[in-house]
Amino acid sequence: MHNFYIGFMGLAALFSLITGSSAFAGTYNLTIDEMRAGYDRGERLTMAINGQIPGPTLRFTEGEEVTINVTNKMDTDTSLHWHGILLPFTQDGVPGISFPGIKPGETFTYQFKIKQSGTYWYHSHSGLQEQDGVYGPLVITPAKREPFRYDRDYVVMLSDWTDEKPEAILGHLKKNSDYYNYAQRTVGTFFRDVSENGLAATVKDRADWGRMRMTPTDISDVSGYTFLINGKSAAQNWTGLFKPGERVRLRLINGSAMSYFDVRIPGLKMTVVQADGNNVQPVPVDELRIAVAETYDVIVQPEEEKPFTIFAESLDRTGYARATLATKAGMSGEIPALRPRPLLSMADMGVDMAGMGHGDHGAAHKEAVAAPAMDHGAMAGMDHGAMADEESMNMPDMQSGIAPKAAKKGGKVLVYGDLKAMKPYADYRAPDREIEMKLTGNMERYFWSIDGVKFSDAEPIRLKYGERVRFTFVNQTMMSHPMHLHGMWMQLDTGRKKFNPLKHVVNVPPGQTLSVDVPADAMGEWAFHCHLLYHMTTGMMRKVIVEGPVAANVGMRHE
């Protein structure tokens, strides 16, 4: 390991000697310390960067050589990871993979050259510190003109604040994974469903979920959060000013530990121009779902002199984050009602009930259906003859319960298929090989895993520098997983080939399968994990090692 570090740094130094030092450089100083903070219900001891939650917005410029001094004033180790940024792996900030972490009282100096532009963020990669408040926005100004235009520019960073210590949350989950599921179905909802769907359908629905040892209200496993925009609760109402007719760029960042949001601004179309920091062909939408750790840049053009509410409902509908676009401070727009909590359906679980009856379920579903945890054998033995064909088509379980739907009638919701890269990817080609990753979990004991193996027991994934590897995620759980690869882009396969969008996080919905192509263009050791904090912590993570040609590997050892 040491040899590799030295060799790599030596090479980097040589490279900078050859090219000469760049035109400009910037130094940034960040301090991580304990702090008391709270929202609406008193304070607790927590952690913050430079005394604020979120931390300060770092503003870099493409081509800049940045130096970031990070000082740890706490009595526990810490770290900062630059989420979505392309850099030498030794600067990536993941303790145990890229560096040993920052010890109490120490200052670690990060140095790297900015090779990209757009909206990103940064956060601690140590323990559960991200949930405590160690995160902030990162904005990079491009070297060239952007393919869109705006008059105002605001960061809109979403996050989930908890009044509990994150360690206590993890403890509750390990004891009882349904600890935060306040919406368990009861005998009352049973009778409601009977009157809406009929007795046979309701009994069958409950029986199906029982056989899978899961519950359909299980769309997020932690709740009781206060949702924030730029560190302000809904009551505190963060406000961005505009003049009617101006174009306003909103840099949406989901810096939550565990929460997805459905975001809309009633009365305004949002034109999506960037996803995960990369320009996309502009697409006007009424609503979008932002997975944990994703970013979307949208442009809105309010024409009227009145307040507009930025409304971000948590996916589990336990609450919302809210901010306002206003023509003067203190204005407040109407706050819509929370929509009902979506329920997972059998379709979300990859169980194509109608298809099973006719014996023609698709190959993509087959994998998910075969998941041991889902007790496929028992389901296959169910009496499908009892389902009248006509009725079965109208059963609620035939459609996804969790797929986003627009609040506005006939409104457009952003889907991954809408994301088309602005610039075609020059080296687009078929992948050299494919690696399948089953996303797995054990809810009874609350640990999450990949291919049934948690991080601490897993071998690293080895890639060869220059190869192009397709990762296919097969989600065999009932939760969405925002999968995040460090150091390299994932080209999300939407069927647009060279226009497939470049992402650092892809959301894999329950029971679904999706593929990304990864150009292995960054040497070193990288983290690859689910960005739901408690899923990563309990094991849904891998180390990826990008190695050089065989001859160059001599002397490169890993513990």
Partner 1 sequence: MNPIFLPLAVALSVSVSGLATPARAAAGHGYEFGAPGKPASATRNIEVNLADNYYEPDAISVKQGETVRFVLKNSGEFLHEFRIDTLAAHTEHRKEMAEMMEMGMLTPTGINPEKMNMDHSKMDMPSKAGEPMRHDDPNTVLLAPGESKELVWKFSRAVEIEFACNMPGHYESGMLGRIDFAK
Q: Indicate the residue among 145 and 328 with the shorter CB distance to partner 1.
A: 145
Q: Who contacts 279 (Cβ-Cβ below 8 Å, separation ≥6)?
A: 118, 146, 147, 148, 273, 421, 422, 423
Distance CA 160, CA 156 (A): 13
Q: Which of 99, 148, 416, 465 binds partner 1 (CB under 8 A)?
A: 148
The partner residues of 129 in beta bridges, in order of sequence, read none
- Provide, rounded to whole angstroms, the least separation between the CB of residue 149 and partner 1: 3
Q: Is 269 in the site for partner 1 (CB under 8 A)?
A: yes
State the binding string over 414-453 for partner 1 (x if CB under 8 A, else -). Answer: ------x-xxx-----------------------------
Instruction: Please give the residues from 300 up to 329 whose contact with partner 1 meets the rule CB under 8 A.
Output: 301
- Provide, rounded to whole angstroms, the least separation between the CB of residue 366 and partner 1: 33
On whether the CB atoms of residues 531 and 81 are closer than 8 A, the answer is no
Q: Is 284 in the site for partner 1 (CB under 8 A)?
A: yes
On whether the CB atoms of residues 69 and 107 are closer than 8 A, the answer is yes
- Provide, rounded to whole angstroms, the least separation between the CB of residue 47 and partner 1: 38
Q: Which of 61, 271, 327, 392 binds partner 1 (CB under 8 A)?
A: 271
The alpha carbon of residue 492 and the mean position of all alpha carbons in its chain are separated, in whole angstroms, by 14
Give the tokens for residue 530.
């689910």
Binding segment toward partner 1, per CB under 8 A, in 42-50, 90-98, 269-277, 330-338: 269-277
187-197 and 199-211 are packed helices; what angle lies between their axes, rounded to 10 degrees?
130
The alpha carbon of residue 386 and the mean position of all alpha carbons in its chain are separated, in whole angstroms, by 41
Binding segment toward partner 1, per CB under 8 A, in 37-45, 96-104, 275-283, 339-347: 275-283
> How many Cα atoms occupy the beta-carbon half-sphere of 175 within 13 Å?
8
Please choose, from the candidates 335, 170, 156, 347, the residue with its C-alpha nearest in 3D space to the C-alpha of residue 258. 170
Q: Which of 102, 139, 273, 321 binds partner 1 (CB under 8 A)?
A: 273
Query: Buried b vs exposed e over 265-302: b needs ≥16 C-beta within 10 Å?
Result: bbbbebbbbbbbbbbbbebebbbbbbbbbbbbbbbbbb
- Provide, rounded to whole angstroms, the least separation between the CB of residue 303 and partner 1: 10
Binding segment toward partner 1, per CB under 8 A, in 100-108, 235-243, 255-263, 266-274: 266-274
Q: Indicate the residue among 303 and 436 with the shorter CB distance to partner 1.
A: 303
C-alpha distance from residue 291 to each of 40, 51, 176, 219, 260 (Å): 25, 27, 25, 13, 5
Sign of CA dihedral 384, 388, 390, 393: negative
- Provide, rounded to whole angstroms, the least separation between the CB of residue 296 and partner 1: 13
On whether the CB atoms of residues 463 and 548 are closer than 8 A, the answer is no
- Provide, rounded to whole angstroms, the least separation between the CB of residue 84 and partner 1: 22
- Provide, rounded to whole angstroms, the least separation between the CB of residue 274 and partner 1: 10
Distance CA 158, CA 546 (A): 33
Q: Indicate the residue among 219 and 299 with the shorter CB distance to partner 1.
A: 299
- Provide, rounded to whole angstroms, the least separation between the CB of residue 281 and partner 1: 6
Distance CA 504, CA 481 (A): 13
Residues 308/310/311/315 CA torsion (nearest 10 deg): 160
Q: Which of 28, 99, 150, 416 binds partner 1 (CB under 8 A)?
A: 150
Q: Is 282 in the site for partner 1 (CB under 8 A)?
A: yes
- Provide, rounded to whole angstroms, the least separation between the CB of residue 489 and partner 1: 20
State the binding string over 219-258 for partner 1 (x if CB under 8 A, else -). Answer: ----------------------------x-----------
- Provide, rounded to whole angstroms, the least separation between the CB of residue 417 and partner 1: 14
- Provide, rounded to whole angstroms, the least separation between the CB of residue 420 and partner 1: 7
Q: Is 404 in the site for partner 1 (CB under 8 A)?
A: no
Q: Indicate the residue among 160 and 418 with the shorter CB distance to partner 1.
A: 418
SS3 category, 184: coil
State the binding string over 446-485 for partner 1 (x if CB under 8 A, else -). Answer: ----------------------------------------
Binding site for partner 1 (CB under 8 A): 145, 147-150, 247, 269, 271, 273, 281-284, 299, 301, 420, 422-424
